[in-house]
Structure 1
Amino acid sequence: MLPEAMLQTSAWQRVSAWALLPLLGKSAWEFFGFILGGAVLSSRDKYAAYMPYALALLALLIVARALVAWRCSRFRVTAQGIELEKGLLHKEKLLLPQARVQELQVKQPFYFRPLALYAASLDSAGSKKQEFALTGLSEAQLMLLQGHATNTPASASTPFHRIWLATLYNAYLWLPLAAVFGMSQQFRDAQVIDRLSDASKALLQQYDIQHNLLLQLLSVLMLLALIALVLTLMCLIWLYPQHFQRDARKLQLTQGAVLKKSLRISAQRVQLVLVNQPWLARLFGHYSLIFRGFAADKQQGKFVVLGQTAAELDKQLQAQQLLPLPEIQGADLQKFVPAYFRRQALWSGLGVLLVMALIWQSNIPPLWLKAAVSVGLSCWWLLETWLNYRWHGYRVQDDVIYLWQGGLSRRWYMLPLQQVQQVRLQQTPFFQQHQMVNVQLHTANGKLTLAAIPNAAARQLYEQVLALQYVEPGSTLS
C-alpha cells in the first residue's frame, strides 16, 4: 500500500535547467553525421562560402533540439503510477503503474555533484527497453519518483579496507586498471619518457648499481605501492562508500564518491542470488553478494555488494527468505554423477600436461624454474580437481533451488523456481551412457546450471518447475 501522502496526484514536474548541458551533448551526438559531413565539405573550396551559414544552422538545430527535449518533457506521480509527457509536434504520453516498476537506477555524474542533481531510469516488466530516462532531477523529485513519503535512513557504509581488498580478489574490478595500463602504453614512445629512461640508465651505470638487489627490491615495492594507489583511487571513484538498504518493497545499493550511482530493484522480483568467494577472499573471510533483478540490460540489472562478512551475509539471506550458507552446505545435498568429474579431470589433466610440455620445450626459463612451475601446476590441478568433487551439491527446498560449487574459489547459487522462464535439458552420448543430464534453468537475468544430475532427478525438477509456472489449478500432469 502506498502512503497516504502518495495517494494524491502530484503537480507536473520538469527537471532542472542544468539538464540542458547533457542534453546539448546528446543532441550534438545525434547530429554527428551532419557535423562530420560538414567537416569534409569545408575542405573543398567551392563549398567554403556556404560553410558559415551551414554551421550556424547546425548549431541552431542542436540548441533547439536540446531546448525542446527539456521544455517539452515533464512527469508526475499519481495514485495509478508515474506519468511522462514528452514531445512538441509528435507528443507522447506514457503511464507506468507502480506495481510494474521492476528497477530504478539512479546515477549522479561528477558534473551534477555540486548541483545535487541526479539522473534516473526505470524499467518495467515485459519491456526490452527503458521506459523513463530523466536527467537533472532534484533530490525532492527523485524521492517523489521513488515513491518515498519519507526518506529511509542511510545504512552504514561497508568499511573501506574491505572494499579495497575486494578490488584484489574480484577479477572484473581490474578492468579499469587494465584500461589505465593500456592507455599508458600509448605514451611509451614519447620523447619525454625516452629521455627520462635514458637518464635513469646512465645514472645506474655510473654508480654500478644497475643489478643491485636492494635497488630491484625497491623497484618492486614502488610498483606495488603504485598499484595500491590506483586501487585506492578506483575505490573512491566507483565503490566507496557502499550503502545497502532493504525494506519490504525494494533493495537499493549506492556506491561511489566521485561517480556516484544507485540501483534499486524490487525485493519480490529478484531473479537470482549469487554468493561468490574467490580463493583470496577466503583468507579474509569475505564474500561478494550479487543480486540479479529484471532489466532490459542484464549488466544494469544486477548489483554486487562487496566485502561482506559471514554474519552480514547470513543476515541478508535470511531477509530474502533464503537459507544461510552453513545449511546449504549440509549433508543432505544431492551430488552430481561421479563420471562427470572423472571426464572433467581427464580433459583438464591433458591441458596441464600440454602446458608443461610447452614449458619444457622452451629455452628461456632455467631448469629449476621449469621444475618449480611444473610442480606448482600439478599441485594446483590435483587440489582443484579434488575440491571440485568434494565440495559441490544442490538441494530444492521451499521452491528454491540451491547450488554449491566448490574448489579453490567457491560459489553459491539461490534461484526461486517461480522466476524460471526456460528449462533446457542437454544430453550428449557420454551423458546418455551414464544416465545423466545437464540441466540449465534460465531466468530473465541469469541462469543456473546443474552440470550432471541423474535422469530421474532431472525429470522430477522439470515437473516441479512446470507445476509452478505452467499448470493451471485443478489440472494434473500427464
Structure 2
Amino acid sequence: MQKRYSIDYSTKWRSKNSRARVMTSESSASPWQKTAAITIVFFIAREIKRLVTNFSNFVPLLALGVVGGKNMADWVPWAIAGAYLIGTVVVAILHWHYYRFQWDDATIRIRSGIVNKEHLTLKFERIQQAELKQAWYLRPFGRTILAVDSAGSKGQEVEIPGLELAVATDLRQQMLATQHVTTAPNQADSASLEETDAIRLPFAEVVRAGLIDNMAFVVLAVIVYPLSQLKVFENYIEPYLEAHASELADNGWVIGIASVLSVFILMLLLSVLASIIRYYGFTLQLSGRGLKRKFQARSGLFTIRTLSFQYQKLQRVRIRQNIRGKLLKRWAFSARQLQPQQNKAPGAGGRQVFGVPAATAELIAQLRSEFKLPANQKLPWRRLSPFALLGKSLWLALLTPIAAITIYLNSGELIALVWVALAYVVLQAIIIGRWWRFGWLETGDWLAIRKGLFGEVQLWYPRHKLQQIDIRQGPLLRMLSYAHLTYFGAAGSQTLAYFPLKRAQQLQHQWLEHVAQSRQPWF
C-alpha cells in the first residue's frame, strides 16, 4: 500500500489543528483538486504583478494619454482604471475556476489557463526548492501557498495557492524526501541519523541586515530616470532655489551635504523596513547529516515564507561583506541552487536564494562548517597575472588625454587638467586595487574566487558540479600566448583572466577529469 494525500475543500476538518487526511489506495494519483475561493485574491495579485512586470509595454499608451490628455473628458481616465480593475477581477475568477491540481507519490500535475490550456507535470526528484508562503490574506484561514522550483528551470514552475498549512507541509516534505543519493555503505547509517538544530536572528540582527543591504540603493538607481521624467526639479526644486538664491549662495555646500545625507538616511530606513518585513522572526532549522543535511528557513512579518533545500542540491555559496557590513562586523551568507532568472521583475527574486542576511563572525564560521567550506583563516588565494591590468588600464590611458584636451578646450583653465590628472590617478588606483584583491583557489571539493576593493565577496562552486569549462583567446591573447579560462555551473559562471595558455589547458583537463571521476550526486 502506498501513502498519498487528498484534500477535500467541501467538508470541514474535524481536527483542531486541521491535519491532512492521509489516504491509502491502489490508485496512482489523487483526484483533481480545486483551490479554495479565498485564493481568488492570489490570482488578482498575480495579475497585478504581471502588469508591473510588463509595465514598459504600456509606455506608448501612457505617452498617448499625456499628449492627448487635454482633449479627453475628465471621466475617461477613471473609466479606463475602472475597466482594468473589473477586468482583473474577472480574469482572476476565471483563472481560479479553471485551476486544478493533483499529485501522487512521485509527481505533481497542474491544469490551468482560460483560453490557452496549460498542463504541467513535475517529478519530485527534479525539485530543487520548495517554499511555503503564508500570505497575509491566507493566514486568517490557515492556508498557504506552496511554491516549487525544479532543476534546470528559469524560474518558479509551480505555485499551488490555498492549501491547508498541514497539507502543504506534508506535501513539501514528500517532495524533498524523493531523492536519488549515492552514498557509501559506511555513510548510509550516519546520513540517516537526524540531528536538529536551530539558528534564530534577534530583531537587532534583522535591523542590521537592512543596514548592510544594498537593495534600496539599487531601487533608487532604477527609479531615478522615471522620476526625472515627472519634471519634479523644474516644477518644485528650481522655483525654490530661485526664491532662496541669496541664502543658498552663503550655505550652498551645507545644504548640498545635508541633502545627500538625508537621501542616504532615507534609503537606509527604507532598507531596514524592507528587512523587517522580509526577515522578521528569521529561524534557520538544520536537520540530518552528510549529503542529506536539510536546511529550512522561516521568516516574514506579513507573509511568512518557509524555504527548504538539501545540501546535495547546493550549486554555489556566496559570502559578502560591504563597507557597512565591515563597520557592523556582519556578513551576508547565501546558498544558491539554480541560475538566477534574467527577466524577473524587481523584487521578484529571493525564492532561489537561501541564507542568513546578517551573520556574526562566529555564525559565519559555523555556516562554513555546515556547508563544508574551508576555514577563512590563511586561505591560499592566488592572484591573476599582472597582464590582467592591461585591458582597463590601457583604455583609461587612452581616454584620459582625450578627456583632458576636450575639457581644456571648453573651459580654457589649467585647473581642469589638474582635476583630470587627479581623476586618472584615483581610477588607476582602483583598478590596481581590485586586481590586487582578486583571488582564486581550488581545493579538493571547491573552486572559489574572492573580489572586492572596499568590501569582499567570496563565491564557492562545487568542483564536481561544473558543467562546462571554456578557454578563450582573442588576437592580443594569442600574441601573448595567454587565455581566459571560464567555468560554468548551474548557478552561474566565472572567468579567470590572463592565464598562460598551457596552464589554462592543464587546469581545464584537471577539472574535467575531476568531474568525470566524481561519484557525488549532482542534485
For normalisation by structure 2, the TM-score amounts to 0.66
Structure 2 vs 1, CA of residues 295 and 301 (structure 1 numbering), >3 Å: closer, same or farther? farther
Structure 2 vs 1, CA of residues 420 and 60 (structure 1 numbering), >3 Å: closer, same or farther? closer
- Larger mean CA deviation between 409-418 and 314-323 belongs to 409-418
In structure 1, the partner of 2:272 is: 232
1:153: how far off?
7.3
1:22 to 38, 42, 49: 42
Q: How does 1:166-315 map to 2 (within 5 A)?
A: 166-167=212-213, 170=214, 172-178=215-221, 184-185=227-228, 188=231, 194=236, 209-213=247-251, 216=255, 222-238=262-278, 240=280, 242-247=282-287, 248-254=292-298, 256-258=300-302, 261-294=305-338, 297=341, 300-303=351-354, 305-315=356-366
In structure 2, the partner of 1:48 is: none
Deviations 1:63-83 (A, max 9, x none): 77335335xx2445x5x3353
Query: In 1, Cα distance between the equivalents of 2:118 and 2:310?
Result: 27
Residue 438 (str. 1) matches residue 458 (str. 2): no
2:149 to 117, 123, 129: 123
Structure 2 vs 1, CA of residues 320 and 198 (structure 1 numbering), >3 Å: closer, same or farther? same
1:18: how far off?
0.7
1:415: how far off?
1.2
Residue 84 (str. 1) matches residue 109 (str. 2): yes
Query: In 2, Cα distance between the equivalents of 1:326 and 1:157?
Result: 25
Query: In 1, Cα distance between the equivalents of 2:331 and 2:496?
Result: 22
1:239: how far off?
5.0
Q: How does 1:419-434 map to 2 (within 5 A)?
A: 419-434=465-480
2:97 to 45, 50, 68: 68
Q: Which amino acid aligns with 1:236?
A: I
RMSD (CA atoms): 4.7
1:259: how far off?
5.5
In structure 1, the partner of 2:386 is: 338
1:135 to 154, 158, 161: 161
1:390 to 413, 426, 436: 436
1:121: how far off?
2.2
1:459: how far off?
2.2
Query: In 1, Cα distance between the equivalents of 2:411 and 2:302?
Result: 49
Question: SS where residue 155 of structure 1 aligns?
Answer: strand
Q: Is the 8 A contact 2:403 2:420 kept in 1?
A: no
Q: Is the 8 A contact 1:118 1:142 kept in 2?
A: yes
- Larger mean CA deviation between 458-467 and 344-353 belongs to 344-353
Residue 447 (str. 1) matches residue 498 (str. 2): no
Query: In 1, Cα distance between the equivalents of 2:410 and 2:238?
Result: 30
Residue 464 (str. 1) matches residue 459 (str. 2): no
Q: Which amino acid aligns with 2:97?
A: V
Residue 11 (str. 1) matches residue 6 (str. 2): yes
Query: In 2, Cα distance between the equivalents of 1:440 and 1:353?
Result: 34
Q: Is the 8 A contact 1:278 1:409 kept in 2?
A: yes
Deviations 1:345-364 (A, max 9, x none): 33344455555555555649
Q: Is the 8 A contact 2:126 2:151 kept in 1?
A: yes
Q: Is the 8 A contact 2:211 2:324 kept in 1?
A: no
1:134: how far off?
0.9
1:28: how far off?
10
Q: Is the 8 A contact 1:102 1:295 kept in 2?
A: no
1:165: how far off?
2.1
Question: SS where residue 384 of structure 2 aligns?
Answer: coil
Structure 2 vs 1, CA of residues 267 and 60 (structure 1 numbering), >3 Å: closer, same or farther? closer
1:426: how far off?
0.3
1:218: how far off?
5.9
Deviations 1:132-170 (A, max 9, x none): 2212233223311221899x7763126134213213xx3
Q: Is the 8 A contact 1:292 1:445 kept in 2?
A: yes
Query: In 1, Cα distance between the equivalents of 2:310 and 2:460?
Result: 17
Q: Is the 8 A contact 1:337 1:436 kept in 2?
A: no
Q: Is the 8 A contact 2:108 2:122 kept in 1?
A: yes
Q: Is the 8 A contact 2:297 2:354 kept in 1?
A: yes
In structure 1, the partner of 2:448 is: 402
Question: SS where residue 462 of structure 1 aligns?
Answer: helix
Structure 2 vs 1, CA of residues 211 and 441 (structure 1 numbering), >3 Å: closer, same or farther? same
In structure 2, the partner of 1:162 is: 208
1:429: how far off?
2.9
Q: Is the 8 A contact 2:216 2:267 kept in 1?
A: no
Query: In 2, Cα distance between the equivalents of 1:141 and 1:435?
Result: 61
Deviations 1:179-227 (A, max 9, x none): 5655655654699x75x9868975x58xx74545397376566555444
Q: Is the 8 A contact 1:105 1:264 kept in 2?
A: yes
Q: Is the 8 A contact 2:106 2:123 kept in 1?
A: yes
Q: Is the 8 A contact 1:415 1:448 kept in 2?
A: no
Question: SS where residue 325 of structure 1 aligns?
Answer: coil
Question: SS where residue 471 of structure 2 aligns?
Answer: strand
1:272: how far off?
1.8
Query: Structure 1: which 5+ runs fail to align?
Result: 1-6, 37-54, 474-478
Query: In 1, Cα distance between the equivalents of 2:394 and 2:113?
Result: 66
In structure 2, the partner of 1:318 is: 369
- Larger mean CA deviation between 455-464 and 370-379 belongs to 370-379
1:109: how far off?
4.2
Structure 2 vs 1, CA of residues 284 and 386 (structure 1 numbering), >3 Å: closer, same or farther? farther
- Larger mean CA deviation between 124-133 and 90-99 belongs to 90-99
Question: SS where residue 365 of structure 2 aligns?
Answer: helix
2:426 to 372, 379, 401: 379
Question: SS where residue 294 of structure 1 aligns?
Answer: coil
Structure 2 vs 1, CA of residues 419 and 213 (structure 1 numbering), >3 Å: closer, same or farther? same
Question: SS where residue 326 of structure 1 aligns?
Answer: coil
Q: Which amino acid aligns with 2:128?
A: Q
1:267: how far off?
1.7
Work out the percentage of aligned pairs sharing the same amino acid: 20
Question: SS where residue 135 of structure 1 aligns?
Answer: strand
Q: Which amino acid aligns with 2:375?
A: P
